Structure 1
Amino acid sequence: MMNTSTSSARGEDQSTEAELTDDWLFLSTASAGPEVLTVSGAEAVDRGKLKSKLVSAWNSVKYVWPLKQKSKFSKSSPVVMLGKSYKLRDQGKRECFRCSFASLLWLTYRRGFAPLVGCALTTDSGWGCVLRTGQMLLARGLMLHLLPPDWTWSVCHHVVKDDMDLESLKEGRKKLHRALSLGSLPSRPMEATHRRVVSWFTDTPEAPFGIHQLVDLGRSSGKKAGDWYGPSVVAHIIRKAVAASAALPNLVVYVAQDCTVYLEDVRRLCQGPSPESWKSVIILVPVRLGGQDLNASYITCVKNLLALKCCIGIIGGKPKHSLFFVGFQGDHLLYLDPHYCQPTVDTAKGNFPLESFHCKYPRKMSFSRMDPSCTIGFYARSQMDFKSLCTAVSESLSSPGSLHVRRDVPHVHICRGTRSSGRHQ
């Protein structure tokens, strides 16, 4: 059993941070996967529904207790999140960080959706966390693709308390509706885009990036509902989902093979019918940063990458427990956790509630607890942005303590040519 006791609180002005224990236990894949039943018909469906409810309840109980405990952030060292640095000693910067974090899409386990194909499961609780972190990574890329880079949710402070506990839905919705009605005209189109992106991840078979579509696309990789999906498999599922979506004709996803981004392959993928046309691209790089545990020599590299504006996050976590990493402070990673099981939201309604898709409770964990198997994401809007991305990533990887100084283990390459030609430079 993991230790769930918290360390004693220390003053925020101290440079040494006390890490709260956030290593609560959730159901493993083995215990949460689908059972092989010899019964049929209504009895099998009833058992599936009962199991879904039990798994959801268990994971929610194990999640909610630590959720009420805040991770401590030091005022003496900056928080770095997706290309931006925030000095928490400054109140204005602290509020900017709170608002930026609360504006990230938080996609968690859900319950009560239509049964997934081939089974009676109506929840992904206990097995779908990598799919959910993959959704969050994609959502970050889509928000950069469709909204200004500095966009923040204008009503996040009205819906989420300063102590980072969610208000009651009734009170939150009233404030949300009032804030939207008083909002400026320029913000309304952006809010409509925000809602449209959220609806793409809803838990219905029609949603292009919902759990039903991702599970269906995973079947070509030998996966089914209830299985464990690794970060690399999810990267390819995301690629297929974007390619199949008619809503994003000017966006493509490139998944690096063997930790290598081939420039000619990316160019062919992004180049449109005319020389001046260029599709935006999300680049996903599955990597392994060590053997059984994270190799400490990679920590500097991970920090350097999360400090890049082109980085859209990392699908990682602890073994069999995926998290979405978005930043760091000192020796601790900052993340969003998908393991809280929430009811499915009907996004077909025009003004559906957004509260459950955002979280203003930043969590931290030590780098030493990071699973070495992860997928790193980047986004480039234009061809010029892609060139800048390549330069920035190469410089980050060549700095002291990062991947390129380790020649005895796999590292990220950005190479000319194509994968089929095997040309490197």
Structure 2
Amino acid sequence: MNPSMLCDDLPAADDPMDDWLFLSHKSVEFLSDTTSLQETGDKGKLKSKLVSVWNSVKYGWSLKQKTKFSKSSPLILLGKSYELKDEANKERFRRSFASLLWLTYRRGFPQLAGSSLTTDSGWGCVLRTGQMLLARGLLTHLMPPGWMWSVWYRAVKDDLDLPHHADCTDCKSNMRCRYQSLGSLYDRPLEAMHRKVVSWFADHPKAPFGIHRLVELGASSGKKAGDWYGPSIVAHILQKAVAASVDLPNLVVYVAQDCTIYLQDVRGLCERPPPHSWKSVIILVPVRLGGQDLNPSYISCVKKLLELQCCIGIIGGRPKHSLFFVGFQDDQLLYLDPHYCQLTVNVTKENFPLESFHCKYPRKMPFSRMDPSCTIGFYASGQQELELLCTNVNEVVSTSAEGYPMFIFSEGESWKDEEHSSSPVHRVTYIQRSSDLKRVSTSSSMDEFVLL
């Protein structure tokens, strides 16, 4: 990959900020494609394409997107810290961020059941961020620790003594040579699994975690294609999708109820009869961190959660404008944005293109702009990891705002009528502050949460 497509050179040492210029070749392809309307005879496709263009403009996508990062503060990305003043750390961050799966609006896929829609542009952003959260959990579950997408970066470890060709005078800095010498030996099995995971999120009715399947599962919660899905409902949809998948027998998803993680329920899902080991688990916690705006006292708690190795991200954003939060620097959240409409990729083709599933340009936004309605994701690979997760996460949330935890752990189990219910139970719990109880409207997010 051409590094110039990732970022500019670092500025002078006295410049406190680092300008990174990110430009996707797909952006150019997208704009040129919208002007070559070969389907002018098909009004449906024309309308879909115009809607896609409008949403890309509406949500601020442009050909040239700059993001500034400070060299004096560490950058946190899903449990790892990067000092950008160090070239090796800066490169590791680039590689790690580019390896995250980026799932966005798509257009031109088969019609969604019960509708004429062939795009989710304008309404499917929460489903897409939910896909990204699940995808992060799946890659953590299936790939070795520290895995990175090797099509762009073939060097697995910086200190690896790479083999080289006798006729290559600059082999160790030549990406093509690294690809030839190392890629075919080490990366083929991992790349095959990476490609398989991407195919599970394809925009096709047969994909277990694709938009068609998620919309189908959302019907039990009263949702249909074209509706806006809240982060709590999406968490339950993901739980059902993983439970129904035949490809992941060793993984379960648990969704917290009323901001409570019932450990007896979690262990019940994970336990397997001997001699089998425990199942891995993705824990999703829907929360509402205040009223119409994020409670400022929760910001430090959100930061500490994103610093944990077990955290796989947070979905939220503004109402009807969901984002996938993966890290932060100072008072700015780092996120992946689904509001960019791309053409559907046919994943049944051998060696289908993967570039549109990976984002080269990170974005930031102030914590103050984060909507309080969100779902937080965690992953534990086994029993010991689950106990460590509970200890570390509980230590963080037990010290959150004004003495009230963001969510809690309980050694008990949930009510059986809720546990076996076919659809999620949404109740609003009130915690008394001072001497009065105040109801906070959740209509803007079209979801109900426990209000803290």
- Among residues 410, 413, 419, which one is paired with 1:418 in the alignment? 413
Shift of 1:397: 1.7
Question: What runs of 5+ residues in structure 2 fail to find an aligned partner?
Answer: 1-10, 22-40, 155-174, 419-452
Is the 8 Å Cα contact of residues 17 and 69 (structure 2) preserved in structure 1? Answer: no
Provide closer, same or farther for how the CA distance between residues 176 and 153 of structure 1 changes in structure 2, counting only shifts above 3 A. Answer: farther
Q: What is the letter of the counterpart of residue 419 of structure 1?
A: S
Provide closer, same or farther for how the CA distance between residues 157 and 51 of structure 1 changes in structure 2, counting only shifts above 3 A. Answer: same
| Alignment partner, residue 185 of structure 2 | 185
1:176 and 1:259 map into 2 onto residues whose CA distance is 49
| Alignment partner, residue 127 of structure 2 | 131
| Alignment of structure 1 residues 9-408 onto 2, 5 Å | 48-63=44-59, 65-66=61-62, 68-156=64-152, 179=179, 183-274=183-274, 277-399=277-399, 402-403=400-401, 405-407=402-404
State the superposition RMSD in angstroms. Answer: 2.6
3-state DSSP of counterpart to 1:313: strand
Is the 8 Å Cα contact of residues 155 and 180 (structure 1) preserved in structure 2? Answer: no
Is the 8 Å Cα contact of residues 45 and 108 (structure 2) preserved in structure 1? Answer: no
Q: How many residue pairs get matched?
A: 368
Provide closer, same or farther for how the CA distance between residues 64 and 331 of structure 1 changes in structure 2, counting only shifts above 3 A. Answer: closer
Q: What is the letter of the counterpart of residue 128 of structure 2?
A: R
3-state DSSP of counterpart to 2:388: helix
The percent identity for this pair of structures is: 71
| Alignment partner, residue 431 of structure 2 | none
1:269 and 1:396 map into 2 onto residues whose CA distance is 24
Question: What runs of 5+ residues in structure 1 fail to find an aligned partner?
Answer: 1-9, 21-44, 159-174
Shift of 1:157: 5.1
Shift of 1:54: 2.2
Shift of 1:154: 1.3
Provide closer, same or farther for how the CA distance between residues 258 and 50 of structure 1 changes in structure 2, counting only shifts above 3 A. Answer: same
Shift of 1:274: 2.4
1:221 and 1:413 map into 2 onto residues whose CA distance is 25
1:357 and 1:259 map into 2 onto residues whose CA distance is 32
3-state DSSP of counterpart to 2:179: helix
Shift of 1:149: 1.9
| Alignment partner, residue 435 of structure 2 | none
3-state DSSP of counterpart to 2:133: helix
Shift of 1:17: 9.3
Residue deviations 1:292-328, cap 9 Å, x none?
0111000001000000000000001122100000000
Shift of 1:236: 0.3
2:380 and 2:101 map into 1 onto residues whose CA distance is 19
TM-score by length of 1: 0.81
Q: What is the letter of the counterpart of residue 110 of structure 2?
A: A
Residue deviations 1:228-268, cap 9 Å, x none?
00000000000000001000011000000011101100011
Is the 8 Å Cα contact of residues 239 and 254 (structure 1) preserved in structure 2? Answer: yes
Is the 8 Å Cα contact of residues 13 and 75 (structure 1) preserved in structure 2? Answer: no
2:320 and 2:278 map into 1 onto residues whose CA distance is 38
Q: What is the letter of the counterpart of residue 69 of structure 2?
A: F
2:56 and 2:176 map into 1 onto residues whose CA distance is 26
Q: What is the letter of the counterpart of residue 346 of structure 1?
A: N
Shift of 1:395: 1.4
Is the 8 Å Cα contact of residues 79 and 309 (structure 2) preserved in structure 1? Answer: yes
Q: What is the letter of the counterpart of residue 279 of structure 1?
A: K
TM-score by length of 2: 0.77
Is the 8 Å Cα contact of residues 14 and 76 (structure 1) preserved in structure 2? Answer: no
